[in-house]
């Protein structure tokens, strides 16, 4: 009552930061700017990502959504000309703090890429690699258990359980992507970033991955970049709309798609551009 009025007032005054009163916030970003050399790719992006839910980033090509996603697990560090300013916190901890070990960060924040990229090793090895290098298993039996449960959670175990020694690259596209998801969840991350995970898959494989995302959200915070609005509508609880490097609007998915506040959002979802 009082709270909701205050919340609504807040929402009206600061349209860029959507607040999710029912869940706690996992990732917060404040005034993030990203430059590729001289060119600025993101301008003053601030957003809150709630825990254990799916947040979708939508927008036309080149609007900076993938760039912002890659800031969250500091993958942009591998690009020499990329410069990030501003603050991103996960569970209140600044991830750009120089003291922080970026390798540990990437174990807490997993990533699934647009084109499935399993290692050219066996299926078992693909999933076991992460736990092994982070020392998550003390014996072979424990490692087996982690691998099996990850494959199970990714919905792949039944299909591959009798050919775990076959190479990962021999699977179909959809199976490879689910293998990459299994690989990402094997290290028990808190956040999973997905950069257009279904864009290289056929509709049936896409449906299976979307089902999987829906199951995973119970345990993981998922941020998914997608250029399919229908997918965002199906899969996410909150949606953020990016345009030309600006975060235009963020809110609950139903709000964004039925009654967006910004004209640009309206134009995008009705297909007038992008």
Partner 1 sequence: MTDISMEGAGAGRQRRLDVTSDAARARIRRRYRAESRFKAYGIAALTVTAAFLALLMFDILRNGLPAFWQHSLVLDVPVKADVVDPAGKRETDAIRSADYFPVMKAALDNAIPGIEGRAASKQLSRLLSTGAPDGLRQMLVADPSLIGTTVKTSLMLSDDADLYYKGTGTRVESRTSQSAATPSGLKGEVTILASSNEFAGELKTIKDAIRERAAALTNEAARVERASQGKGVERVTQLRDQAAVLAARYQQPGAAEALDGRMASVLVAINGGLVKATKIEASGITGDVLLPLKSQDEAKPGTWQVVRYLTPEADRKVSDQEVAFLERLREIGAVRNGFNWNFFTSGDSREPELAGVRGALMGTALTLLVTLLLCLPIGVMAAIYLEEFAPKNRLTDLIEVNINNLAAVPSIVFGLLGLAVFLNFFNLPRSAPLVGGLVLALLVLPTIIIAARAALKAVPPSIKEAALGVGASHQQAVFHHVLPLAMPGIMTGTIIGMAHALGETAPLLMIGMVAFIVDVPGAFTDAATVLPVQIYLWSDLPEPAFQAKTAAAIVVLLGFLFLMNGAAIWLRKKFERRW
Point out which residues bind partner 1 (CB under 8 A).
Answer: 73, 75, 78, 80, 103-104, 106-107, 110-113, 115, 117-120, 129-130, 133-134, 167, 169, 180, 183-184, 187
Strand-strand pairing, 221-225 and 191-195: parallel
Measured from the CB atom, the residue of 69 and 248 that comes closer to partner 1 is 69
CB of 219 to partner 1, least distance (A): 18
The packing angle between helices 173-186 and 203-216, to 10°, is 20
Tell me the closest approach of the beta carbon of residue 200 to partner 1, in angstroms: 12
With CA atoms as reference, report the closest residue to 208 among 169, 170, 155: 155
Rounded CA-CA distance 259/187 in Å is 39
Q: How many CB atoms lie within 10 A of CB 22?
A: 6
CA distances from 85 to 10, 36, 76, 249 (A): 26, 12, 12, 21
Rounded Cα gap, residues 256 and 249, in angstroms:
8
* Residue among 48 and 125 whose Cβ is closer to partner 1: 125
Rank residues 50 and 168 by Cβ distance to partner 1 and give the closer one.
168
CB of 84 to partner 1, least distance (A): 16
Structure tokens, 256: 């964004």
Q: Let me know: does 269 contact 248? Beta carbons within 8 Å.
A: no
Of the two residues 187 and 233, which places its CB atom closer to partner 1 in the complex? 187
Comparing CB distances to partner 1, the nearer of 87 and 132 is: 132
Instruction: For the chain, give the number of residues.
Output: 274
CB of 268 to partner 1, least distance (A): 29
The least CB distance from residue 11 to partner 1, in Å, is 34
Minimum separation from the CB atom of position 73 to partner 1 (A): 7
Q: Which is nearer to partner 1, 119 or 257 (CB)?
A: 119
Are 2 and 21 within 8 A, CB to CB? no
């Amino acid at each position: 009552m009082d709270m909701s009025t205050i919340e609504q007032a807040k929402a009206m005054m600061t349209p860029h930061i959507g607040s999710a009163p029912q869940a706690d916030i996992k990732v917060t970003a404040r005034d993030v700017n990203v430059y590729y050399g001289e060119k600025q790719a993101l301008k003053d992006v601030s957003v809150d990502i709630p825990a254990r839910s799916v947040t979708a980033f939508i927008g036309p090509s080149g609007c900076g959504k993938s760039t912002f996603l890659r800031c969250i697990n500091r993958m942009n560090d591998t690009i020499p000309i990329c410069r990030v300013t501003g603050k991103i916190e996960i569970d209140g901890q600044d991830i750009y703090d120089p003291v922080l070990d970026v390798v540990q960060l990437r174990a807490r924040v997993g990533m699934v890429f647009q084109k499935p990229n399993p290692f050219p090793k066996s299926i078992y090895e693909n999933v076991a690699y992460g736990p092994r290098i982070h020392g998550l298993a003390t014996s072979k039996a424990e490692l087996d258990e982690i691998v099996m449960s990850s494959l199970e959670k990714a919905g792949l175990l039944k299909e591959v359980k009798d050919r775990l020694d076959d190479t990962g690259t021999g699977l179909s596209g959809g199976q490879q992507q689910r293998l990459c998801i299994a690989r990402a969840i094997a290290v028990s991350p808190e956040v999973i970033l997905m950069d257009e995970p279904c864009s290289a898959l056929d509709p049936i494989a896409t449906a299976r991955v979307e089902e999987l995302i829906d199951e995973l959200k119970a345990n993981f915070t998922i941020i998914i970049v997608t250029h399919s609005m229908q997918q965002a509508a199906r899969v996410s609880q909150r949606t953020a709309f990016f345009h030309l490097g600006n975060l235009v609007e963020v809110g609950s998915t139903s709000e964004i798609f039925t009654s967006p506040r910004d004209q640009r959002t309206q134009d995008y979802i009705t297909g007038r551009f992008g």
